[in-house]
Amino acid sequence: MNRSTKRLPAEWEPQDAVLLTWPHAQTDWADCLEAAQQTFAEIEAAIRRFQSVILVRPDAFDLPSNDTWSRDFGPLTIEENGRPVLLDFTFNGWGGKFPANLDNALTGKLQNLGAFGTTPLRSIDLVLEGGSIESDGEGTLLTTSTCLLNPNRNPELNKAQIEHRLKDEFGAHTILWLDHGHMEGDDTDAHIDTLARLCPDRTIIYVACDDPADPHYPDLKAMEAELQALENYRLLPLPWPSPKYDENGERLPATYANYLVINGAVLVPTYNDPADFQALEVVGNAFPDREIIGIDCSPLIRQHGSLHCVTMQIPHGVCT
């Protein structure tokens, strides 16, 4: 019997579109809706310079949503025997922290409306968010144990069983686990896309804290040591922005690692911080052939996410 060949494309491979889910008054954005919508509009306009946008709005068709974090409830697209297949994993609101029933249904509704062309959709009985894994397109996945092994996701599965499922669903041969790394204000149990990102040519961009007085310092130093222990990777540390807080004094997860790679460009979150310029330079070092575009995502971190979290790339060949 011939076994199917599967592959999870890297984000920097050609894309058809990016999925965005518009913030509306029935979401947690209600108290800062205008600022959030302005940021989404800037992200949408930047993407449309290079490719299409699939925009989910509550007033378009029957597409209600709980929230706007397309990265985590949108489809993950594999290449199977050379053709794209959409995988619709279960989204449970980051371990039951927030309502997720409407968001969990969105991918299926979009497919029924023809948003993904004739590409087949496969429902997967596994809780998994797109922001929790990184792929190099060559069979290696990067993730965190804090998220994927959290009992609020798949309590019946141990580490070996989750590894087996990841390898089976994505055709992966290597799973790289990080046991350290945490951002205050993060609701995701340490999604990898807030901490470290796989890049072309065996490069990893990662969040680095250079302030020993900062509470993040010990854990991010431990994460840095884990990355340094990996073989044959070029490591590019991102700068550390000054602390950002909400009106209640809660620290917000301002991370430069939460960028989005699209056709011909990389959209990088900025925070009106002196470190913004250096962050753009670091990302440009990893993607020298692309335009680097900074977008102020200060409104997004008020809801504890950033630019990558609100987007999901749709690889080339899906929408045709």
285: CATH:
3.75.10.10
Number of domains in the chain: 1
With beta carbons less than 8 A apart as the criterion, state whether 85 and 119 touch. yes
Q: Is 34 buried (19+), middle (13-18) or exposed (0-12) by CB count in 10 A? A: exposed
Task: Give me the pLDDT at residue 119, please.
Answer: 98
Task: Give me the pLDDT at residue 227, please.
Answer: 98
208 occurs within a structural domain: yes
Distance, C-alpha 318 to centroid of its chain: 19
With beta carbons less than 8 A apart as the criterion, state whether 268 and 256 touch. yes
268 occurs within a structural domain: yes
Q: Token digits for 80? A: 């199977």
Question: Position 266: which residue type?
Answer: V
Whole-angstrom distance, CA of residue 44 vs CA of residue 55: 9
Task: Give me the pLDDT at residue 181, please.
Answer: 96
Q: Please, which residues bridge with residue 313 across strands?
A: 18
Q: What is the mean pLDDT of residues 191-211?
A: 98
Closest among 217, 215, 310 to 269, alpha carbons compared:
310
Whole-angstrom distance, CA of residue 316 vs CA of residue 14: 5
68 occurs within a structural domain: yes
User: Among the listed ranges 50-54, 58-62, 119-123, which one has the minimum average pLDDT value?
Assistant: 58-62
Whole-angstrom distance, CA of residue 108 vs CA of residue 34: 29
pLDDT at 1 over 70: no
pLDDT bracket for residue 170 (50, 70, 90): very high
Task: Give me the pLDDT at residue 60, please.
Answer: 73
320 occurs within a structural domain: no
Question: Position 11: which residue type?
Answer: E
Q: Note the pLDDT tens digit of each residue in 61-84.
A: 889 999 999 999 999 999 999 999
Whole-angstrom distance, CA of residue 244 vs CA of residue 254: 7
30 occurs within a structural domain: yes
Question: Position 13: which residue type?
Answer: E
Q: Note the pLDDT tens digit of each residue in 238-293.
A: 999 999 999 999 999 999 999 999 999 999 999 999 999 999 999 999 999 999 99
pLDDT at 3 over 80: no
Whole-angstrom distance, CA of residue 16 vs CA of residue 53: 9
Task: Give me the pLDDT at residue 63, please.
Answer: 92
Query: Catalytic positions, please?
Result: 309
> Residues near 215 by Cβ (< 8 Å), separated by ≥ 6?
184
**Owning domain of residue 117:** 6-315
